[in-house]
């Protein structure tokens, strides 16, 4: 059983492993595709849920202003998770948006590991510089607010 | 307007913005922000927040196909991202100390100039081969792609790596300060300085704009500027539109892509100059 499983794992590595020629491309393409599909699916579920909970929003001209107001959106991970537990539509939409925002950063991270595995020193250095700069600008943005 | 109509309209419009963005390598924030604020009365904060998400959505949705089809040059993108990321950080640091008005004027003038320069290349004629570039050789940046419209493999050599990196730094700084216009500067830099084929330029720019936008998106989220009621349909629409748009880029002729890009670039330049005036 365990032998079979490790063989399966080895096969999976062979087909999608970053060592294969063109492997980085395939890996990144797969990450991007699954990331955006997951994000759009979460948004779809969230939008459907929020119309299911508020059916009057489908047909009647309710005031849009409160929906467009500053207090509408959760702005921390905790807030999103709390709302998700109550199966609130906007929490799922927010999760979808967060997945979308994380995809490009994950993409640099994956490239970094792939280049390291390929011992492509110049590109390992470049991707690590990009990751550091990304972290710095996010931290800086937080600090100045 | 019912909330449902609002959602559906935003989705539909973002679909178009995503498709156009995927073909031209720009995020489409310059189209979406005025549309949301003027057309739907959305607060500018949420409009910018939604447009930053749409840039990421366009980038990732399009790049999934471009990377697989080797239309986006991964190595060129990773190399240049050092410049854009450094620029974005500089832009964030400078943002408070420089007046936006001069930036808009400067940015508008630069875009108008690049549009005209790209237009000159549209005229065609035989171009001299790109000058050899030692850094491009060492990093293995050269590539080739299969052009569906011409039905042939198109090999190309990359040049002007240092100039390209410098221009990306400038592009990153500008987008870090203004929060917009990252792609509009990246495509001309790839096209004019590094001499990539125009389809490779827009596909590679598409791939890169997501990273710069992701750095700002985290900040917008923490500030509470990402409103799911607005950003949700925009994000989903831009993604689906971008995925559809990638099928278009392969089939379009390079001349058409270039002409389309020059047109949009001129329009953006005029908008920028008007803002700064």
pLDDT tens digits, B40-91: 888 888 888 898 899 999 999 999 999 998 899 999 999 999 999 898 888 8
Model confidence at A8, in pLDDT bands (50, 70, 90)? very low
B9 touches chain A (CB under 8 A): no
pLDDT computed for residue A13 by the predictor: 39
Q: In the block, which residue shows the tokens 């467009």?
A: A68
pLDDT computed for residue B123 by the predictor: 64
Residues 6 or more apart in contact with residue A100 via CB below 8 angstroms: A35, A36, A39, B53, B56, B57, B60, B235, B239
* Predicted interface score ipTM higher than 0.85: yes
A106 touches chain B (CB under 8 A): no
DSSP assignments along A10-46, one per residue: HHHHHHH-TTSTTHHHHHHHHHHHHHHHHHHHHHHHH
pLDDT computed for residue A16 by the predictor: 38
CB-count exposure of residue A129 (10 Å: 0-12, 13-18, 19+): middle
pLDDT at A15 over 80: no
Lowest mean pLDDT among A70-79, B78-87, B157-166, B208-217: A70-79
Q: Tell me what the mean pLDDT of segment B114-140 comes to.
A: 78
User: Of chain A residues 13-32, which have a CB less than 8 A from chain B?
Assistant: 24-26, 28-29, 32
Of the ranges A13-22, B35-44, B102-111, B202-211, which is most confident? B202-211
DSSP assignments along A47-79, one per residue: HHHHHHH-THHHHS---SGGGGSTTSS--SHHH
pLDDT tens digits, A75-109: 777 777 777 777 788 889 999 999 999 999 999 99
Report which of residues B110 and B72 the model is more confident about: B72
Q: Count of A–B CB contacts within 8 Å?
A: 202
Does A9 reside within a domain? no
Does A78 reside within a domain? yes
pLDDT computed for residue A19 by the predictor: 41
Put simply, the answer to whether B232 touches A33 (Cβ < 8 Å) is no
Given phi > 0 = left and psi -120 to 50 = alpha, else beta, which region is A87?
left
pLDDT computed for residue B57 by the predictor: 95
pLDDT computed for residue B274 by the predictor: 87
Given phi > 0 = left and psi -120 to 50 = alpha, else beta, which region is B196?
beta
Put simply, the answer to whether A64 touches B6 (Cβ < 8 Å) is yes
Is residue B235 within 8 Å of A39, Cβ to Cβ?
yes
State which H helix or E strand residue B219 sits in. helix B198-223
Number of domains making up chain A: 1
pLDDT computed for residue B100 by the predictor: 65
Model confidence at A71, in pLDDT bands (50, 70, 90)? low
Query: What are the residue boundaries of the structural domains of chain B, listed by start?
Result: 3-276
C-alpha to C-alpha distance for B169 and B161, rounded to whole angstroms: 12
pLDDT computed for residue A99 by the predictor: 95
B92 touches chain A (CB under 8 A): yes
User: Of chain B residues 113-172, which have a CB less than 8 A from chain A?
Assistant: 138-139
B71 touches chain A (CB under 8 A): no
To probe the interface with B, which of A24, A66, A68 has the most B CB atoms within 10 Å? Answer: A68
Range of the domain at A97: 22-144
To probe the interface with B, which of A22, A32, A41 has the most B CB atoms within 10 Å? Answer: A32
Q: Tell me what the mean pLDDT of segment A45-72 comes to.
A: 78
pLDDT computed for residue A18 by the predictor: 36
pLDDT computed for residue A142 by the predictor: 67
* Residue B146: DSSP 8-state: E
Cα–Cα separations (whole angstroms), residue B109 to B105, B118, B163, B200, B270 = 6, 14, 19, 25, 9
On chain B, the residues whose CB falls within 8 A of the CB of A134 are: 85, 211, 214-215
pLDDT at B181 over 80: no
* Residue B96: DSSP 8-state: T
B210 touches chain A (CB under 8 A): yes
CA distance A101 to chain B (A): 6
Model confidence at B97, in pLDDT bands (50, 70, 90)? low
| CB neighbours of residue B121 within 10 Å | 16
C-alpha to C-alpha distance for B37 and A67, rounded to whole angstroms: 15
State which H helix or E strand residue B143 sits in. strand B143-147
pLDDT at B232 over 90: yes
Q: Tell me what the mean pLDDT of segment B130-152 comes to.
A: 87
pLDDT computed for residue A92 by the predictor: 92
pLDDT computed for residue B140 by the predictor: 87
């Amino acid at each position: 059983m365990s032998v079979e499983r490790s063989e399966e794992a080895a096969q999976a590595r062979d087909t999608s492993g970053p060592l294969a020629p063109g492997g980085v491309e395939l890996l990144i393409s797969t990450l991007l595709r699954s990331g955006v599909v997951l994000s759009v699916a979460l948004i779809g579920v969230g939008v459907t849920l929020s119309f299911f909970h508020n059916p009057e929003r489908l047909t009647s001209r309710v005031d849009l202003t409160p929906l467009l107001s500053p207090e509408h959106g959760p702005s921390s991970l905790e807030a999103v998770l709390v709302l998700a537990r109550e199966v609130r539509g906007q929490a799922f939409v927010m999760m979808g948006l967060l997945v979308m925002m994380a995809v490009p950063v994950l993409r640099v991270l994956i490239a970094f590991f792939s280049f390291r595995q390929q011992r492509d020193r110049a590109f390992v250095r470049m991707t690590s510089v990009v990751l550091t700069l990304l972290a710095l600008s996010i931290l800086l943005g937080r600090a100045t607010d | 307007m019912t909330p449902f109509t609002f959602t559906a309209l935003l989705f539909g419009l973002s679909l178009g913005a995503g498709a156009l963005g995927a073909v031209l390598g720009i995020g489409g924030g310059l189209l979406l922000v005025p549309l949301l604020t003027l057309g739907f009365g959305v607060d500018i904060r949420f409009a910018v927040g939604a447009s930053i998400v749409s840039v990421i959505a366009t980038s990732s949705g399009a790049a999934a196909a471009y990377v697989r089809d080797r239309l986006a040059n991964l190595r060129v993108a990773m190399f240049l991202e050092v410049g854009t990321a450094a620029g974005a950080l500089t832009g964030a640091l400078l943002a408070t100390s420089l007046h936006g008005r001069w930036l808009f004027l400067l940015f508008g003038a630069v875009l108008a100039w690049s549009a005209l320069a790209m237009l000159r290349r549209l005229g065609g004629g035989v171009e001299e081969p790109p000058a050899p570039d030692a850094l491009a050789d060492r990093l293995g940046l050269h590539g080739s792609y299969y052009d569906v419209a011409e039905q042939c493999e198109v090999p190309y050599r990359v040049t002007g790596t240092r100039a390209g990196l410098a221009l990306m730094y400038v592009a990153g700084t500008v987008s870090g300060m203004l929060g917009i216009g990252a792609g509009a500067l990246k495509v001309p830099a790839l096209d004019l300085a590094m001499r990539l084929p125009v389809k490779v330029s827009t596909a590679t720019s598409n791939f890169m704009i997501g990273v710069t936008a992701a750095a700002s998106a985290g900040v917008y989220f923490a500030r509470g500027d990402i409103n799911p009621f607005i950003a949700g349909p925009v994000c989903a629409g831009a993604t689906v539109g971008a995925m559809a748009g990638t099928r278009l880029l392969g089939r379009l002729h390079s001349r058409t892509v270039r002409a389309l890009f020059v047109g949009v670039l001129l329009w953006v330049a005029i908008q920028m100059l008007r803002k700064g005036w």
